[in-house]
Structure 1
Amino acid sequence: MIYAIGDIHGQKQMMDHALDLIAQDGGDDAHIVFLGDYTDRGPDSAGVIDALIAGRDAGRNWTIIRGNHDRMFEYFVADGTCHDPAIKSGLSWLNTRLGGPQTLASYGIVPTGPAVFDIDDNGLEILRHLPTQDGDLTLEQLVTAAQKVVPQAHLDFLRDNPLMHRVDDLLFVHAGIRPGVPLDQQAEDDLIWIRDGWLDNSDDHGVLVVHGHTIVDQPTHFGNRIDLDNGAGKGHPLIPAVCDNGEWFILTDAGRAPIHRE
């Protein structure tokens, strides 16, 4: 058996509950694949990362995949990068819709209001300042503060997690794959960001792709892929899943239930 947990987005209590459901179903040594996006939007990104590092270092049978929000957070702390070309809206990571301020708050940089932005000629949000308990902080001041409070171990964790994990005919990845491209030639940006050309593709990829990144009303089996992002970052439940002898189920407080099929 192998278990999977979709996008956590700082929801530490939801993650703990999902892990409890897995332990009840498969025991403490169950193989669990985490599908990325541990940070942003939810209230306790720092606590999520602490717990994942602790489990990994304790030798738990966990595989922890890198997600796009994890990379955005890492890049912000490194040099203040607030935008990714994949975000066509021009939103800054410091916009609460993407969830950067919530992540900073979990490390003690606590906003007292929404960020104030200017919009540049390319339609990008450019931070003027973020009101915090320590005053109105500019981008440079925020980066300096983050570099002081975010542990290097957290940044190493976010950077070093693998982009995919294959077990037999299952491929676990954050967002998906580029159809028609060999698995060993997939681009990182596709693995953590892809939607266009992927979500509407019905090809047999030679593996069943298990991913998150794109919110669905409930974990869903689309034939060639399974989407496990149930929207925890927006306050919806975090629902773990299990593959047992080729059959997929979600785990609930009432036990297993067959995963929804399209």
Structure 2
Amino acid sequence: MNAAAPEGLRIYAIGDVHGRDDLLARLSQRIANDLRAGDYDKAVTVLLGDYVDRGRDSREVIDRLARHDFPTPIVTLRGNHEDVMLRYLDDPAMLDQFAAFGGLMTIVSYGVDPGEEMKAGAAAAVHAAFVAHVPEEHRRFLEETRMSVEYGDYFFCHAGVRPHVPLDRQDPGDLMWIRYEFLNYRGSFGKVIVHGHTPHAHVQNHENRINLDTHAFKSGVLTAVVLEGEGRRFLDTAG
């Protein structure tokens, strides 16, 4: 039996954005155009996390999503990069890890020059300036991101799930961070897992999982899957 979305519901799911608000805007328009076709009762878009870091416009991405500036209702999941950003907002000692994940680009997107702040007062000054420049609604958006969501025969999360653990008992750390134990598993997870986190040049469209991370910040290709009934098709920013 083929995996199916709930009857009457069209689901869009979008892979890792990583600060590319230009691509998110373009894909949003493609989704708006796509909505004009098809026989469905309602639509929803699930964003799979990793909105920040690496690309230049993390602030703009969060602002767009926090305002729900999108053609459909949205569900925003938490990626490992949001996890690290939240921890850095609470703990200046996380600067090295945040920077290693591309977080300096996020800091710059909020109007903070890390180099100048380091000259003025070292890592503590960078943290203080960043916290002061992140709007409360952006922090609230990050805090309210979800770990997973399910629709019909599909389970959506950022990174993947641990095999042999029921989907309703998955550890949040695995949902945001897992890789090889999940990626190398060929059996059923109970539902088809729709995820990002591990970049590939093209969508991985497998029987047990769909990987939508097409390295958008680097490739310029942000990808969405469209799930409707038993149908499965893809939209991206390459065209």
Q: State the TM-score bracket (shorter-chain normalisation).
A: 0.7 to 0.9
1:61 aligns with 2:73: yes
Q: 1:60 to 1:250 in 2, by over 3 A?
A: closer
* AA at the equivalent of 1:76: Y
TM-score by length of 1: 0.80
Counterpart of 2:15 in structure 1 is 6
User: Which stretch of structure 1 is more off in the superposition, 24-33 or 211-220?
Assistant: 24-33
Counterpart of 2:106 in structure 1 is 103
Deviations 1:216-236 (A, max 9, x none): 111121210000000013243
Give the ranges of 4+ consecutive aligned residues of structure 1 lying more than 2 Å apart after TM superposition: 27-30, 132-137, 233-236, 252-255
Counterpart of 1:21 in structure 2 is 30
Q: 1:63 to 1:73 in 2, by over 3 A?
A: same
Q: 1:26 to 1:12 in 2, by over 3 A?
A: same
Deviations 1:151-187 (A, max 9, x none): 1211121122110010011001000001111112111
Q: 1:253 to 1:232 in 2, by over 3 A?
A: closer
User: Between Structure 1 and Structure 2, which shows a larger proportion of helix residues?
Assistant: 2
Q: 1:41 to 1:49 in 2, by over 3 A?
A: same
Question: Partners in 2 of 1:37 and 1:17 — Cα distance?
Answer: 18
1:72 aligns with 2:84: yes
Deviation at 1:9, TM superposition (A): 0.6
Q: 1:253 to 1:191 in 2, by over 3 A?
A: closer
Counterpart of 2:50 in structure 1 is 37
Deviation at 1:144, TM superposition (A): 0.9
Any conservation in 1 of the 2:204–2:212 contact (CA below 8 Å)?
yes
TM-score by length of 2: 0.87
1:240 aligns with 2:224: yes
Any conservation in 1 of the 2:220–2:238 contact (CA below 8 Å)?
no
1:218 aligns with 2:202: yes
Deviation at 1:133, TM superposition (A): 7.1
* AA at the equivalent of 1:69: H
For residue 142 of structure 1, give the secondary structure of its aligned residue in structure 2: helix
Number of aligned positions between the proteins: 226
Q: 1:19 to 1:190 in 2, by over 3 A?
A: same
Say what the alpha-carbon RMSD is for the aligned residues.
2.3
Deviations 1:55-103 (A, max 9, x none): 17x99411111111011111111112427xxxxxxx73213xx211100
Any conservation in 1 of the 2:224–2:234 contact (CA below 8 Å)?
yes
Q: Which runs of 5+ in 1 are unaligned?
A: 84-90, 112-130, 256-262
For residue 23 of structure 1, give the secondary structure of its aligned residue in structure 2: helix
Q: Mapping of 1:120-135 within 5 angstroms?
A: 131-132=115-116, 135=119
For residue 104 of structure 1, give the secondary structure of its aligned residue in structure 2: helix
* AA at the equivalent of 2:75: T
Q: 1:30 to 1:135 in 2, by over 3 A?
A: farther
Any conservation in 2 of the 1:104–1:146 contact (CA below 8 Å)?
yes
Q: Mapping of 1:185-224 within 5 angstroms?
A: 185-224=169-208
Q: 1:203 to 1:94 in 2, by over 3 A?
A: same
Quick one: higher RCO (CA 8 Å, sep 6+), 1 or 2? Answer: 2
Sequence identity percentage: 35
Deviations 1:20-40 (A, max 9, x none): 111111159731110001100
Counterpart of 1:258 in structure 2 is none
Q: Which runs of 5+ in 2 are unaligned?
A: 1-9
Question: Partners in 1 of 2:111 and 2:237 — Cα distance?
Answer: 33
